[in-house]
Structure 1
Amino acid sequence: MSLYYRWKNFEEDEDRPEKPRLFGVTEMRGPNHTLLTQNVLQDIFESMGQFVDGLKFSGGSHSLMPKSFLKQVIDMAHQHNVYVSTGDWAEHLIRKGPSAFKDYVEECKQMGFDTIELNVTSLEVPEDTLLRYVRLIKSGGLKAKPQFAVKFNNSDIPIGGDRAFGAYVPPPPRSTELVEDVDLLIRRAERCLEAGADMIMIDADDLCKHADSVRADVIAKVIGRLGLEKTMFDASNARASEWFVKQYGPKVNLFVDHSQVMDLECLRGCNLGKNHNSVLGSSYFLF
């Protein structure tokens, strides 16, 4: 363990396991909307590597990088026991035919990727085809992570701006169409797990943007059917991360921006928020 920080144990019933972790996984967004140089990533891994389980190249960003640079970043992540995942890119290659996807899986393996993510919404393929892609990834020696999107109608998200502070807001009627969509999502995700998928990513962007009006019933249904260990949620902002940890404890798996890693780890530590000193020994801080 590094001399620059000292990890304090959580409460006995919420002990933080060492990597590789099966639950309480923190996957970090890699280069996408912002440019993260190799030096920046190295600083993150050296200072917070113990808290980062995975690195994902979102939006197909890895396809724009020189292979030599990409290989260096992947090797650096592996040195810190961090797995590396592709982002939304496989669906673009699938349009070129099954052979292109098979070549893509082989190239990812040669580059050192550990996981291939499949955006089910963008794929727009029959379920049998989706399951075949999952098995193809697994047969190639990589982990498969299908990504599903929870759809929300605007009427399902209360608007809090046009009301007096503390005023009662009547709950909107539940949408039958929404419930059916979630049930279908869960059934397809279950079949993906049966086909060998290692994790299910849930993209509930509308939900995360309105963390104060989270559809807790939908999230509870997804976790209840798929299991906490096999589900990862895209927490697009700090409030969403806080909501998930408070509702489901430190064992919930979350995908966050690199700027949220430290705060998320402190939230996992008995919901201590941004009180970093309460989770990290004072020797962590060099100033």
Structure 2
Amino acid sequence: MAHILRHKINAPLSLTNNVALTLTRRCASPGTNCNAASLSLTQAKRAFASGSAKGATGSKQSENSADSPFSFIPSNALVPKSGRGERSKGLTEIRGSYYNPVTYTYLNELLSDWGEFVDGVKFAGGAFTLMPPSRLKGLIDMIHSHGTYVSTGGFVEHVLAASNGNTKVVGEYLETCKEMGFDVLELSSGFLTLPADDWTALVKLTKSIGLKPKPEVGILFGAGGDTEGLETKGTRDPRWVIERAEKFLEAGADRIMIESEGITENVKEWRTDVVSALTAALPVDKLMFEAADPAVFAYYIQTLGADVNVFVDHSQIVQLACLRKGIWGTSDLFGRVTTFKPVHDG
């Protein structure tokens, strides 16, 4: 029987040797059902071959929550994901490597399981510039295979500061990002003072190169990193943010990222009045709110609904998905998050 088992396998040698050796030992033991062992090995082989084929082609997961055996249980209808950042609203962008390394294997598994609820992956702190080029390109290609876009984060601030705004250096940075496969280029100036017209020119240049410009604006100067005590420095009037956001959208910005510092982060009390001012003056589907922790994205969903665009840490995607779908939540939101979509409006 052990001889037969060994010759029924076409899987790689590492799997063949390990599994066959285990079953050989079991078949040699008194009372062992070798037919059952053969069946188990065949099933294991099929599962391994299926996984290997998917891994080799880099194909994205085709299943989603609608295919779940639990789909008979009602849950919220959300705008469907149709491509890289093509969902009209309800987008989720997650943080990649920065505070913790987010490896190829981990991210591939995460997107295989939860890619239906992830629209974009954002690098932070210019981390991507320190990666081996082949590894970076492979990581970006894998993310794309899951129908998910890749954002640079706000590293352009360093490029501007280090080059004194040299147009050649900035242009080369944008072109290199495009060549490496980035889709979205975040244009933040939390640490810099930048004239509104210059900022707008960056939006236009980014769009002309073929990247989606996403300016980041906020009410607190010096925001964008691990900053404490900023509440003592005062904040900008929300109208400052609104005026710039309007200029950027008119210039072709894809969306506007709203910085959390000064609103829900580094403040003693949340500035919900700022959120109200922004959403009253600007189209909500063109805004994406930075949500530093679950209490923050829960607030945005409670205030603006399940279709709000948010940026969260990669570790928070499951909790956010459950909240959007209305299947779970904290005591103040449990069973209260709902949607009404007679037809998909994606």
TM tier relative to shorter chain:
0.7 to 0.9
Q: Which residue of 1 aligns with 2:282?
A: 226
Q: Which residue of 2 aligns with 1:235?
A: 291
Amino acid at match of 1:196: G
Residues 1:144 and 2:213 are matched in the alignment: yes
Partner Cα distance (2:117, 2:295) in 1: 19
Partner Cα distance (1:211, 1:67) in 2: 39
Q: Which residue of 2 aligns with 1:108?
A: 177
Larger Rg, first or second structure (1 or 2): 2
Q: Which residue of 2 aligns with 1:53?
A: 119
Q: What secondary structure, in the 3-state scheme, does the structure 2 residue paired with 1:121 have?
A: coil
Residues 1:40 and 2:106 are matched in the alignment: yes
Q: TM-score, normalised by structure 2?
A: 0.67
Q: Calculate percent identity across the aligned residue pairs.
A: 38
Deviation at 1:274, TM superposition (A): 7.1
Residue in structure 2 matching 1:81, options 118, 123, 147:
147
Deviation at 1:271, TM superposition (A): 6.6
Residues 1:17 and 2:86 are matched in the alignment: no
Contact kept, 8 Å, 1:87 with 1:117, in 2: the verdict is: yes
Partner Cα distance (1:121, 1:200) in 2: 14
Q: Which residue of 2 aligns with 1:2?
A: 63
Deviation at 1:16, TM superposition (A): 3.5
- Residue-pair matches, total: 250
Amino acid at match of 1:217: D
Residues 1:133 and 2:202 are matched in the alignment: yes
Residues 1:183 and 2:239 are matched in the alignment: yes
Deviation at 1:272, TM superposition (A): 2.5
Contact kept, 8 Å, 1:71 with 1:111, in 2: the verdict is: yes
Q: After superposition, what is the alpha-carbon deviation per residue over 1:110-133, rounded to whole angstroms, capped at 9, x for unaligned?
A: 000001001122342211111111
Partner Cα distance (1:209, 1:120) in 2: 17
Partner Cα distance (2:181, 2:103) in 1: 19
The gaps in structure 2 that reach 5 residues or longer are: 1-61, 222-233, 338-346
Residue in structure 1 matching 2:133, options 54, 67, 72:
67
Matched ranges for 1:238-249 at <5 A:
238-249=294-305
Contact kept, 8 Å, 2:263 with 2:272, in 1: the verdict is: no
Partner Cα distance (2:198, 2:268) in 1: 38
Contact kept, 8 Å, 1:205 with 1:236, in 2: the verdict is: no
Q: What secondary structure, in the 3-state scheme, does the structure 1 residue paired with 2:198 have?
A: helix
Partner Cα distance (1:236, 1:254) in 2: 10
Contact kept, 8 Å, 2:154 with 2:185, in 1: the verdict is: no
User: Structure 1 residues 212-221 or 99-108, which shifts more?
Assistant: 212-221
Q: Which residue of 1 aligns with 2:309?
A: 253
Pair 267,213 (structure 1): closer, same or farther in 2 beyond 3 Å: farther
Q: Which residue of 2 aligns with 1:284?
A: none
Q: What secondary structure, in the 3-state scheme, does the structure 2 residue paired with 1:207 have?
A: coil
Segments of 4+ moved more than 3 angstroms: 7-11, 209-213
Q: After superposition, what is the alpha-carbon deviation per residue over 1:214-255, rounded to whole angstroms, capped at 9, x for unaligned?
A: 322210111121211100011000110111111111110000
Partner Cα distance (2:64, 2:285) in 1: 31
Pair 210,122 (structure 1): closer, same or farther in 2 beyond 3 Å: closer
Deviation at 1:87, TM superposition (A): 1.1
Q: What secondary structure, in the 3-state scheme, does the structure 1 residue paired with 2:284 have?
A: coil
